Structure 1
Amino acid sequence: MFNQFSFKARLGIPMLFLGGTVLFSAYQHTPTSRFINHYVDSVLTEAQKRLPENSLAGVKMAEGLSVKTFATEPMLMNPTDIDVDARGRVWVLEAYNYRPAITLNPTHKEGDRIMILEDKDGDGKADESKVFYQDASLNAPLGIAVLGNVVLVSQSPYVWKLTDTDGDDKADKKEVLFQGIGGEQHDHGMHTFVFGPDGKLYFNFGNEGRQLKDAAGNIVKDQFGKEISPKNYQEGMVFRCNLDGSEVECLGQNFRNNYEVAVDSYGTMWQSDNDDDGNKGVRINYVMEYGDYGYKDAVTRASWPSNRTNIEEETPRKHWHLNDPGTVPNLLQTGSGSPTGMIIYEGNLLPKAFQGQMIHCEPGHNVVRSYPVQKSGAGYSAEIVNIMKQEKDQWFRPADVCVAPDGSLIVADWYDPGVGGHQAGDQNRGRIYRIAPENTPYKTPSLNLSTPLGATLALQSPNIATRYLAWKALEKFGKSAETDLVKLWNSDNQRMKARAFWALCKIVDGKKYVELALNDANADIKIAGLRAARQLKLNVLGYVNELKNSSDPQIRRECAIALHGNTAAEAANIWADLAMQHDGKDRWYLEALGIGASDNWDACFSAYLKKVNDPTQTLASRDIVWRARTDESVKFLASLATDSHTSLKERLRYFRAFDFLKGKVKSEALMSLLKGNSAEQNEINKLALNHLDVDFVKTSPVAKAALQKLLASLNGKEYLELQGKYLLPEENPRLLSMIKNGEMVRQSAEALIKSNEGLALVKQITSNPKEDAVTVKLLEGIKSNGGQNSLDILKGIMLDKTRSEQVRREATRDLGDSDGGQNLILALLKEGKIQKEYIPVAVEGVSRAWRRNVRIEAAKYLGNSNNKTSKLPPVSELIAMTGDAKKGVAVFAANCSVCHQVNGEGMDFGPKLSEIGSKLGKDGQYLAIMYPDAGIGFGYEGWEIKMKDGSVLNGIIASKTETDISLKMPGGIVQNLKTSAVKSMKMMNNSMMPTGLMDGMTKEEAVDLVEYLSSLKRK
C-alpha cells in the first residue's frame, strides 16, 4: 500500500502530515504543494484516497490554523451531529440506519448509536469510545444537546430526553419531550437544541416539521395562545422554551430547512437555510423575532415560482419573496449548497477574525466557513471567509461544528459521496477533526462549580455544555453569586458582560439589572436588557418609550419588535414615533416596524396619520403604506399605485401590497382604478383585476365589463393568464380560435376545458367526424392533461372505428403523453383492445414515459422487441475513467433534459443541475442516476393524485394552497388543479426519475454523461 511517509521523504519537502495534522502555513501557496496535490491525485487509487490517513490531503486551512484528525472509522460511522461536553468529550449521533427503505442499504437491527469519544492523554486524538445509548428506535437522529446528565436527541417525529441517573455514561431513562414533528427520519424535521445565554433552550425545525406536540400528544400553544401548527404558522420555524419544554415561543417562520439556530451572548439568533435544490438561493439569516422569512407566499402559501405581481427578477431573490411586504431580508445569499451545523464562536483561541462570529458547515461545497458580520442600519451585512476547505476530496461532508472547552473547533465529517438528501452512498466511514492554532494541545480547563466564583468562571467558557453547568450551579447559589457576577458585569469583554447580565437578571434581581442594562453605553447590552424585560414581563412599554428616540437604529429595531402583540393605546403612539424615524432605505427597520404593528395595525396606522397628513409624499412614508395591513392604508395604496409621476414598474410593489389586504374597502379601491383605455391604463386595469377576488368580479357588472374589455385587448400569455383565472364562458370561442390557429395550443386547450361550457364545446367538436382537422389540434392541446375527461375523449376516438385513420393515430399517440394515459395504454394492450396496426403507434406514444417499466412493458407488444441493455462495469471502475464532457452534453440532451435544467436549458421538472458537480463527485453522480429511489430530493417527491372524476395524475407538487394545486409533470408541463376536485393525495415511494436510465447507454455514453455533470460546478 502507498506509504505517505516514504512519499514525503522521497520528495524531500516539509512534512505534509504530522501525527494526522495538516500544517498548511508552511507550504500551501508553494509550487511544491501544488505538485504534492497533483501527485496525490495521480498516484493514490480511489480506495486509497478514502483511507482515514489520507483524509486531510487537499485540505486548505485559514491562516494561523491547522487541522488534526480526532477520530475516524471504525471508532464511529456516519456522524450526523455532535456535541462536546464540559470534559472535552465528543458525543456523536450516528446514522448507519439512514433511510433503509429508500437507500436499500443494510441496517443494524440494534439501532443507531450515540457514542462518546474521549482523548485521555491530551494529544488531540480520541483514545476511548463508548456507547451512551443504542436502541432500535434510534434511526439516524439529527440533533444532540448535552446538558449535564441530560441529553436531548432530535429525531422526527420525536425529541427524546435521555437521562444518565447514576453517572456511568449510560442512558438510564428515556422520555418524550416533544413529538408529532414531521415524518420519521426526515431531514427537514426537528434539528438541534441549543442552550441560550438566558437559560432557555433554542431549537428549530424545517418545513416538514409542520407542528409541535407535547409529551402527551397535545398541540403546543405558543406565547400568544396560538397552536404551533399550519393553522397559524407555516414551513420551517424557530422556537425558544424553558429547560423543561414549557412556555414555548415561536420566534420566526417560513423557512425551508433551517438546520441549526445559533445564539450569541446578547440573545441574537442566526441560522442558515437551504433552497429548493439547484436554485442558488442558500441563505444566512439574522433571525428577527416573529419575522416571516418568505419561503412560501405569506397569504396564499403558494410556492415561490408561482407568478405574482412585482416578482423578483433573479431566482435566488424570487425564491424568498424578497419583494413582498412582510418578508425579512436575508443577511447573505451564498449561492448553491447544503448548509448544516452552525455555532457562534465566542472563544479567544482562534484568530480574532473569527471571534464573535458564525462558524458554519457547508457539506455541499466541502467547507467549514465563517460569515463575519458588520452592523448595517437596523440589520447587518456579512461576507464569506473559509476556515477549512477540502479541495481534492468531495466526500468531505462537514455536518456539524462545536466549540470545545479549550476554544478549539470540533468538526464532524459525514464523509460520503453525497450530502444526505435521503441517500447514503457510504455507511461505514465518518471522521471527527479538531481545528486549532498550530501546536495547541487539547487540554480541558478544570472546573470548580462548588463556589460562586468557580461557577462564574465556568460561565465564561466558549463551550456551551460548560456554560449550562455553570448556569445550573449559579441558580443554586442564587443571590450569593451576585458579587462574582457583578465583577464579570464590570469587565471589558462585552460578551462576557452580557452573560453576567443574563444570570444577574434571571437569577438575582430582574428589574434591577434590566434597568442597569438599559442605561448601559453599549447598544448590544441595551438590546439584551430589552429582550430580558420582555421575558420577565416587566414594564416593556415604559422601557421602549425611554429608548424610542435612540440614535442607534438597532436599538429602535428592538423597540419596534418589543411592541409585537401589545394592543395598549400607548403602544400605538410609541410605534408611530418609531415609524417617524424610518428613513425609507432600511428594510430591516421597516420589517421590524411591521412586526411591532402585527395585530394592531388599525391603531398604529391611525396614530401614524396624526403625525403624517399625506403618507404618499416621502420614500419613508410610502414604505409604511406599502407595509401596512389596515383598511385605513388602502386609499393611500391606491393613490401610489396610480401615481403617474412614477414609472409603472416602480408602482408594481403597491399593487402587490393589495394581496395582503382583505375585504370590501380593498375591493372598492381596486374597482375605482378601472377606467380609461390608454396603454398604461390598460396595464392598471389588468393589475387591478388580477388583485380582485374572482367571485367579486363575477358578481359586479362594472368589474365584469372591465374584465371583458381588458381581455379583448390582450394576447398570448397575458390573455391566457387572466382568462385562466376568471374562466369567462364568453371567451370560449376565442380560445377555440387560438387552438385552430396553432396559438399556444396546450395552454389554450387547458383554459378551455377548465370550464363546464368549454368542456362541452370540446366534446361536441371532437365527436364530430367533420371536424377532424380541429379535433387533431384539440387532442394535441389536451394530451398531457391527464384528467378523466381528456382521457375519455382520447380513448373514445382511438377505439372508434368510424373515425379516420389520421385522427385515430393521433389520439392513440397522444394518449401516452400522461401518466393516466400510459396506464390506460398498458391496460388496453393487455386486454387486446388496440388494433394490431395501432400497436406501434401506442408504443411510440409511451416511449418517453418517465417510468421505465411502462416503456418495457409496452415494447413487449411489438412482437419483435429488441429490448437489450448494455452491461456497464461496476461504479468503482466507471469513476476511474475519464470521459468527454462535450460528448456528455449530447447524452444529457437525449436522456436528461426532458426533466432537468442546466443554466436555464432543458425542462424545469426535477432539480436544476447547473452546479451538481460541486455537490456530488463522480461516484455520487453514478449512484444518483443508477439508484434514483435512494436519494429523492425534498420537494421533488412524486405524488399520486386521484381526482373526483376518476382520473389519476402523477407529478411533483410545485405549489399547494387551500384552493389550488400546481402539479409539475415530466417535460416541465404544469397542470393546475382545484383542491375541491381532488379525491385523495398519496406520496409515491419511488423517485419520478426513471430507474435504469443508464441501462440503454454504452459505457462511453455513461462516462461522458458523468464527466459532463461533474464539470457543472460553482463558478
Structure 2
Amino acid sequence: MNKKISLATLATAFIMVTCQVSRQGTSDTILRTTDASVSAIPAFTSDPSPAYLTPEQSIKTFKLPKGYHLELVASEPMIHEPVAIAWDGNARMYVAELNTYMQDVEGTGEHAPTSRVMLLEDTDNDGKMDKSSVFIDKMLLPRMLLCVGNEVLVNETDTYDVFSYKDTNKDGVADVKRPVYTPGKKSPGNLEHQRSGLDWNVDNWIYMAVDPVRFRYKNKMLVPDSIPSGSSGQWGITHDNYGRLFFSSAGGENPAYGFQINPVYGRMEFDDQFSEQFNEVWPIIKTPDVEGGLKRLRPDTTLNHFTASCGQVIFRGDRLPADLQGDLLISEPVGRLIRRAKVINKNGKITLENAYQKEEFIASTDMNFRGVNMYTGPDGCLYLVDMNRGIIQEGNWTGPNSYLRPQIKRLGLDKNIQHGRIYRMVYDGIKPGPKPHMLDETSAKLVTYLGHPNGWWRDNAQKELIVRNDQSVVPALKTILASQTGKAGAFSRLHALWTLEGLDALDQTSVASAMKDQDAEIRKAAVRLAESYLKKDNALINNLTALKTDPSSDVRMQMVFSLAHSKSAEAKRLSDDLVTASNGNPVFARAVRSIEKNEDAKKFGLRLGRLDASDRTLVMNGSIIYKSLCATCHGADGKGLVSKTAPPLAGSKRLARSTDASVHILLHGLSGPVDGQTYPSEMPSMKDNDDQWIASVVSYVRHEFSNAPPIRPDAVKAIREKTSGRDKAWTLEELTEKKAQ
C-alpha cells in the first residue's frame, strides 16, 4: 500500500559512533573538507558524473556551512554497504551491512544470508577506526542494532525475531547467541517495508519505526507492549533530550511527523506543523534518478520535493556549535543532501522550519553519496552513514516498465556497489570529546554522567545502570532529585527520575516532588510517571490538580493524556477543566480527539466481534500491516494525507462489496489518475507478499473503510493465478472494463 520507498526508507534507527578510517587502503591522515574545497564546490552541477569516487575524492564534493568539516571515519575495504551503527559503552562501533542489497537492477540474490555486522575499534584514540573484525557473519540483511552492556541485540530482515550476541573471549567475534524476542513469525513485505530502530528512549521504552510495538528490556529479554493506534515512520527514528520521538515517511513523502505526542497516546498531526515550502529540497546536482519521475523534478532536473527522507537525528552533542543542539537533521539520499530543521515549540505545538533559505545544511555533488543514517556520537560530534552506491531504490521500483530503470542503466549506477563510508562532522576550534569507558566503570561513576553535556553519555549511562539493575545507586539518584535545583542540574534530575523508574525504585514521594520542579520538562515527566498511580487508586490526583494552571502548555497537555489513565470522575473533571481553560488552543482539542481515537483503537469496534474467528484474524493482522505501512501514504483514517501522496481509501469504490479490484491493485499496482486526481507516483506491486498478507490488508481496509466483508486467501490465490502473466500496473479504466466483463 505504499509507493516507492528508497532504501532511505528501510528500517532501523540505531545509535552513534567514534571512528575513523581503516588503514587498509586509505590514508593515515584524516580526510577533511577544507575552506578552499568548500568554496570550490559550484552552486549547481548540471552534468554530474556517476563515476565512483574514492573517499579522498568524495569528501571534497560536500558543500557545508562555514567552519564545519567532514572527516572520514571508515570506508571500504573495512566496511561495505553500511546502513546503521551502534556504539557500546566503550565506544566500540557495530556496523550493520546490507551486502546483498540491489547488487544489480534486478535485485538478484538479495535474500542470500551473506550480510554481516562488523565491529570497528579506534585503538590509538586518534578518532579513526584502525581495527576491524566480522562480529556476526552470514546474516540476512541485518537492520536493527542496540548495545546493552556487553551484548548487541540484532534483528534481521524478514523476521520479527531479535537475538543477543556476545563475544566472551575478546577476539572480536560473537561466540554466544541467545534469543531475546522470538515470536517466530516471518515479517511481511519487501525489505524496505520492514522495521527499523531499537531506540532506547529517555522513558526506558525501546521504540521502532513501522511496527506498532515498543519494548522494555527486562531480565535480559525484550518484553513487548502494543501501540494501539499504530507506530509511525519507515527508515529511521530519533528522540530529543526529553524523549520526544521523530519519524519520517519516504513513501508518504513526509520528511517528519509523529513528533507532537508519544505514539502510545495516539496520533496527532497538524496541517501547518511545517509549511509546504519545507517539503521542497535544494540539491546542488541534477537528480535524474528519482522514482517519482518528471513530476518530482524541476525544469533544471533537480529533485523538487522530499521523496526518500530517512535516517533522521536530533543532534544532542556538545562538540559542534551550540546552535545546532536540538535541531532535527533529515537525510534525503535521492537528492544527495541533508536538511537542517529548527524545532519550534509554541504553546505546546511543535513546528519545523528549514534553517536556511533555499539551500541545505549538507549537499554533495557525488552521485553515489547516499546518506541513510545519522547519529550523535560519543565524542559529541555528528556521524553520517553513507551507503555510497548507485541504486537507492529496491527492486519493486526498478522494474522493466519503471521510470527508474532506464535512468539507472543509462548512467551505469547499477555498477556502483560494495562501497560505503562513515563520516563525522567537526568544527573549527572545537576538539572532539574523549572516549567513554562505561563498561569498565562503577555504577556510582555512571551516575555522574547523567548530567553530561553530551546526550549520548546521558542516555547510555542511564541505559547501562538499568541493564545492570544495580540497586546500590538508588540513594544517590534520590539525592540528585532532592538536592539539585535550577536549570543547570535539570538533565541530571530528569535522567535520575527515569533511571529510578527503570530500576523499579521510583516512589510516589519522588514523583510528587518532581511535579514541583523548576524545570517544565521534569514536571511533564513527573505527570507521565503518575500514570501507574492513577491506574491503581487515583493517587497523586491532588498533586496534579495543583498543576492545573502550570505556565507550560506541555505540562498541561501531558496532564490531559495522563489523566485518561484514571476512570475516576475527579480525573475527568480535571481534564475537562484543562481543556476549557486552554481558551481554544487547538492542541488541547486535538489531544482529546487523539485520546478518544486511541481508545477506539483499543476496543477495535464492535463490528469486529461479529466476524467469525478466521475473518477476525485477517482483519486484525491487516490492521497491523495497514497502520505500519499503508497509513504513511493513505492516512491512518483512510482519508489520505494533506500532501496528497496517495488516494484516499475511505469511501473508495474499489473497496465495495461487489468488486475484487483492491486485490488486483495490491498484486500489480495502480497507475494513472485516480478519481480525477493525479498523484506523484504510482502504487507499486505488492505481489512479493503471500496470499495471506494480501488478504489481510484487503480485509482490513474493506472492513474499516467500506463496511464490506473480508476477502479470503484462496480468493487472492485464484486472482494471482489468473493474472500471473501481468507485468505492469493496472489503470482504473482497465479495472472498470474488467468489472464489466
Tell me the equivalent position of 1:873.
Answer: none
Distance 1:599 1:33 in 2: 50
Is 1:257 the counterpart of 2:233 in the alignment? Answer: yes
- Structure 1 residues 524-563: aligned runs within 5 Å: 524-534=521-531, 539=539, 541-563=541-563
Distance 2:498 2:690 in 1: 52
Structure 1 residue ranges without an equivalent (≥5): 1-16, 210-236, 296-313, 318-333, 602-628, 630-658, 661-720, 726-746, 756-784, 788-817, 820-849, 852-897, 914-936, 947-953, 967-975, 995-1019
> Deviation string for 1:821-876 (max 9, x for gaps)?
xxxxxxxxxxxxxxxxxxxxxxxxxxxxx99xxxxxxxxxxxxxxxxxxxxxxxxx
Is 1:475 the counterpart of 2:475 in the alignment? Answer: no
Q: Which residue, 193, 211, 214 being the options, matches 1:239?
A: 214
Tell me the equivalent position of 1:829.
Answer: none
Contact 2:82 2:385 in 1 (8 A): yes
Distance 2:580 2:200 in 1: 37
Aligned-partner residue type, residue 474 of structure 2? K
Local SS of the residue matching 2:455:
coil
Distance 1:900 1:57 in 2: 42
Say if 1:104 and 1:288 are closer, same or farther in 2 by CA, change over 3 A. closer
Tell me the equivalent position of 2:284.
Answer: none
Instruction: Note the C-alpha offset of 1:505.
Output: 5.0
Is 1:157 the counterpart of 2:159 in the alignment? Answer: yes
Tell me the equivalent position of 2:370.
Answer: 397
Instruction: Note the C-alpha offset of 1:422.
Output: 4.5
Tell me the equivalent position of 2:55.
Answer: 52
Local SS of the residue matching 1:21:
coil
Is 1:139 the counterpart of 2:140 in the alignment? Answer: yes
Distance 1:944 1:140 in 2: 18
Contact 2:113 2:141 in 1 (8 A): no
Tell me the equivalent position of 1:961.
Answer: 701
- Structure 1 residues 915-930: aligned runs within 5 Å: none
Is 1:410 the counterpart of 2:178 in the alignment? Answer: no
Contact 2:163 2:178 in 1 (8 A): yes
Instruction: Note the C-alpha offset of 1:351.
Output: 1.2
Is 1:372 the counterpart of 2:342 in the alignment? Answer: yes
**Which of 1 and 2 has greater Rg?**
1
Tell me the equivalent position of 2:589.
Answer: 590
Contact 1:181 1:189 in 2 (8 A): no
Contact 1:455 1:473 in 2 (8 A): no
Instruction: Note the C-alpha offset of 1:528.
Output: 1.0
Local SS of the residue matching 2:445:
helix
Distance 2:699 2:232 in 1: 14
Contact 1:144 1:154 in 2 (8 A): yes
Distance 2:123 2:248 in 1: 34
Distance 1:80 1:990 in 2: 35
Is 1:111 the counterpart of 2:121 in the alignment? Answer: no
Tell me the equivalent position of 1:503.
Answer: 499
Aligned-partner residue type, residue 145 of structure 2? I
Q: Which residue, 655, 661, 680 being the options, matches 1:912?
A: 680
Is 1:201 the counterpart of 2:205 in the alignment? Answer: yes
Aligned-partner residue type, residue 32 of structure 2? V
Is 1:941 the counterpart of 2:709 in the alignment? Answer: no
- RMSD across aligned positions (CA): 4.8
Instruction: Note the C-alpha offset of 1:191.
Output: 1.4
Tell me the equivalent position of 2:715.
Answer: 984
Instruction: Give the number of aligned pairs.
Output: 583
Tell me the equivalent position of 1:1009.
Answer: none
Q: Which residue, 93, 97, 104 being the options, matches 2:96?
A: 93
Contact 1:60 1:391 in 2 (8 A): yes
Tell me the equivalent position of 1:355.
Answer: 325
Is 1:432 the counterpart of 2:422 in the alignment? Answer: yes
Contact 2:370 2:386 in 1 (8 A): yes
> Deviation string for 1:748-799 (max 9, x for gaps)?
xx99x979xxxxxxxxxxxxxxxxxxxxxxxxxxxxx999xxxxxxxxxxxx
> Deviation string for 1:978-1004 (max 9, x for gaps)?
75699522579999448xxxxxxxxxx
Distance 2:519 2:268 in 1: 32
> Deviation string for 1:17-54 (max 9, x for gaps)?
994533354563x4x5439x97xx98x9643x432322
Higher helix share: 1
Distance 1:259 1:97 in 2: 18
> Deviation string for 1:932-977 (max 9, x for gaps)?
xxxxx9854359999xxxxxxx99x9996235999xxxxxxxxx99
Distance 2:386 2:310 in 1: 11
Distance 1:476 1:173 in 2: 27
Aligned-partner residue type, residue 519 of structure 2? N
> Deviation string for 1:638-669 (max 9, x for gaps)?
xxxxxxxxxxxxxxxxxxxxx99xxxxxxxxx
Tell me the equivalent position of 2:17.
Answer: none
Distance 1:342 1:458 in 2: 25
Say if 1:945 and 1:405 are closer, same or farther in 2 by CA, change over 3 A. closer
> Deviation string for 1:264-317 (max 9, x for gaps)?
3433222223344xxx4443331513344489xxxxxxxxxxxxxxxxxx9999
Tell me the equivalent position of 1:626.
Answer: none
Local SS of the residue matching 1:286:
coil
Say if 1:101 and 1:457 are closer, same or farther in 2 by CA, change over 3 A. same
Instruction: Note the C-alpha offset of 1:428.
Output: 0.8
Instruction: Note the C-alpha offset of 1:472.
Output: 4.0
Instruction: Note the C-alpha offset of 1:62.
Output: 3.1
Contact 1:124 1:434 in 2 (8 A): no
Contact 1:73 1:430 in 2 (8 A): yes
Aligned-partner residue type, residue 390 of structure 2? P
Distance 2:278 2:240 in 1: 27
Say if 1:546 and 1:273 are closer, same or farther in 2 by CA, change over 3 A. farther
Distance 2:165 2:580 in 1: 53
Tell me the equivalent position of 2:296.
Answer: none
Say if 1:944 and 1:248 are closer, same or farther in 2 by CA, change over 3 A. closer
Percent identity of the aligned residues? 19
Q: Which residue, 83, 86, 101 being the options, matches 1:83?
A: 86
Say if 1:142 and 1:422 are closer, same or farther in 2 by CA, change over 3 A. farther
Distance 1:106 1:541 in 2: 59
Aligned-partner residue type, residue 455 of structure 1? L
Contact 2:241 2:455 in 1 (8 A): no
Distance 1:944 1:128 in 2: 41
Tell me the equivalent position of 1:573.
Answer: 573
- Structure 1 residues 704-743: aligned runs within 5 Å: none
- Structure 1 residues 321-332: aligned runs within 5 Å: none
Distance 1:432 1:315 in 2: 30
Aligned-partner residue type, residue 458 of structure 1? Y
Contact 2:229 2:266 in 1 (8 A): yes
Contact 1:83 1:90 in 2 (8 A): yes
Tell me the equivalent position of 2:42.
Answer: 34
TM (norm. structure 1) is 0.50
Say if 1:153 and 1:99 are closer, same or farther in 2 by CA, change over 3 A. farther
Higher relative contact order (CA 8 A, sep 6+): 2
Aligned-partner residue type, residue 158 of structure 1? Y
Say if 1:248 and 1:338 are closer, same or farther in 2 by CA, change over 3 A. same
- Structure 1 residues 669-708: aligned runs within 5 Å: none
Say if 1:146 and 1:550 are closer, same or farther in 2 by CA, change over 3 A. same
Local SS of the residue matching 1:338:
coil
Is 1:70 the counterpart of 2:73 in the alignment? Answer: yes
Local SS of the residue matching 2:100:
coil
